[in-house]
Amino acid sequence: MQRIIENFRIDDHAMRYSEFVPRLYNYCLSLGFQRDRMMPSRAFCSDESQGYPVILIAQHFGTFPFDHGRVGGKVATNRHGPHAHHGEDLVIIHASHVGYDPDTKRYGVYQRSRTARQEFGDNCGKLCGVLHWYQDEYRHACDHILFGRLDGKPAVLVDNLFLDEARSEGLLLNLDLLIDRSKGPLKTLSTCNVFHAAPSLVTRLPAETWGDTPQVIGARLTADLFFFRRTASEGPEGHDMLEAALSPAMPTLVTSPHPALDAARYHTQIEFDRTYRSMRREPVYHDKNLLLISGVNIDISPRDGLPFPVTNFVPWAAYARLRDGRNFHLEQDQLSETLRRQSTDNPDRLSFDASIHDMSEAEGIMIK
């Protein structure tokens, strides 16, 4: 799973939104899209940090984008029909998002400057909120599984909680990778049992780690040694779809050095695939020009008095289906290269000040 997530590379693909959006606009023109027929749609989280990208999309495409987004950056695929009715040349820009603090090199945080203490908080709040329960379960397991030697032999001390394999919820161990169950417990204590260590675990850990004084397993509890069992929580829209989508990757996410970043990368990957397949089956798109592009928005908190974040877009993949019969995918390297070949100059972009002035000076309309 980690290798799958890491296929989505960050450092050599990120570009500032002020460069990404005009490049995307010019790429659409190169595909034959017409400005006065284009209807962009954004599938972003509802977080205020996503406002700046929306402003730039409106400025360069000349219209406020349709909304395909649900909390956490999930795509509302049931909105394809309405979107298609609003234009002829259709663009869907999808992105999960993650905060980044360049001073501490931390992912998953964003400064909430409108709060009383202007503290840093989760970003994306939804993705991080889903992760918290799993991270707490993982930390508890790391502290309550110990290893060492008993009577000179490698042994593992397992809290009794983790020996209950019938539990309906929680972190469950792949016990056969940790203990040798064929030999039964070496010793029973008040809250745990001591077992012979599984041969594979003995081989995995350096010999010097098997000391006479037991120590917690900590970060040595790797993603292959456990899994989670949980019923997705209920909300006003039913089961938590974001949690259900992330659940296959949870062991990898909670053991990652950057859980929020990897959650955003993984979610973008599965959402692109899901959205692409839903678009292929949507009949209202068949006589339209259509481009779907997915990536991750990296939000860097406003600095030096700036009103908006310095948001970067990291492209993952794109799919185009055009009215002339062409359809194709662009994978990450090709997509990044294609975008970087486009000009960042857009002579068609709106001046908001001029547009607002013209609208305020326009003749009023009496509403009866």
- Judgement on whether residues 172 and 215 belong to the same structural domain of the protein: yes
The domain boundary residue, chosen from 176, 201, 235? 235
**Cis peptide leading into 124, omega within 30 of 0?**
yes
- Whether residue 363 lies inside any domain: the answer is no
- Whether residue 124 lies inside any domain: the answer is yes
HSE-CB for 139 with a 13 A CA cutoff: 6
- Whether residue 367 lies inside any domain: the answer is no
Say yes or no to pLDDT of 314 above 60.
yes
Please state, as a whole number, how many other Cβ atoms lie within 10 Å of the Cβ of residue 139. 14
- Judgement on whether residues 306 and 333 belong to the same structural domain of the protein: yes
- Judgement on whether residues 226 and 262 belong to the same structural domain of the protein: no
- Whether residue 246 lies inside any domain: the answer is no
Of 225, 210, 212, 295, the C-alpha closest to 255 is 225
- Whether residue 221 lies inside any domain: the answer is yes
Tell me the pLDDT tens digit for each residue of 142-194: 999 999 999 889 999 999 999 999 999 999 999 999 999 888 899 999 999 99
- Tell me which residue range forms the domain holding 301: 2-131+257-344
Q: Which residues of 295-330 are buried (b: 16+ CB within 10 A; e: fewer)?
A: bbbbbbbbeeeeebbbbbbbbbbbbbbbeeeeeeeb
- Whether residue 368 lies inside any domain: the answer is no
- Judgement on whether residues 125 and 261 belong to the same structural domain of the protein: yes
- Per the CB < 8 A criterion, the answer to whether 99 and 107 are in contact is yes
Q: Does 240 or 338 have the greater pLDDT score?
A: 338
Alpha-carbon distance 41 to 77, whole Å? Answer: 12
- Whether residue 243 lies inside any domain: the answer is no
- Judgement on whether residues 108 and 6 belong to the same structural domain of the protein: yes
Work out whether strand 120-122 and strand 109-111 pair parallel, antiparallel, or are unpaired.
antiparallel
- Judgement on whether residues 114 and 161 belong to the same structural domain of the protein: no
What is the value of pTM for the model shown?
0.92
- Judgement on whether residues 124 and 7 belong to the same structural domain of the protein: yes
- Whether residue 365 lies inside any domain: the answer is no
The domain boundary residue, chosen from 235, 265, 287? 235
User: Residue 97, by phi and psi: left (phi above 0), alpha (psi -120 to 50) or beta?
Assistant: beta
Query: What letter would DSSP give residue 245?
Result: H
- Judgement on whether residues 7 and 107 belong to the same structural domain of the protein: yes
Of 192, 265, 244, 253, the C-alpha closest to 226 is 253
Tell me the pLDDT tens digit for each residue of 37-80: 999 999 999 999 999 999 999 999 999 999 999 988 999 999 99
Tell me the pLDDT tens digit for each residue of 212-261: 999 999 999 999 999 999 987 665 544 578 898 999 999 999 999 999 99
- Judgement on whether residues 191 and 269 belong to the same structural domain of the protein: no
- Judgement on whether residues 15 and 92 belong to the same structural domain of the protein: yes
- Judgement on whether residues 85 and 173 belong to the same structural domain of the protein: no
**pLDDT, position 90:** 98
**pLDDT, position 365:** 83
**pLDDT, position 133:** 95
- Judgement on whether residues 92 and 188 belong to the same structural domain of the protein: no
Count of the separate structural domains present in the chain: 2
Tell me the pLDDT tens digit for each residue of 118-137: 889 999 999 999 999 999 99
Alpha-carbon distance 191 to 173, whole Å? Answer: 17
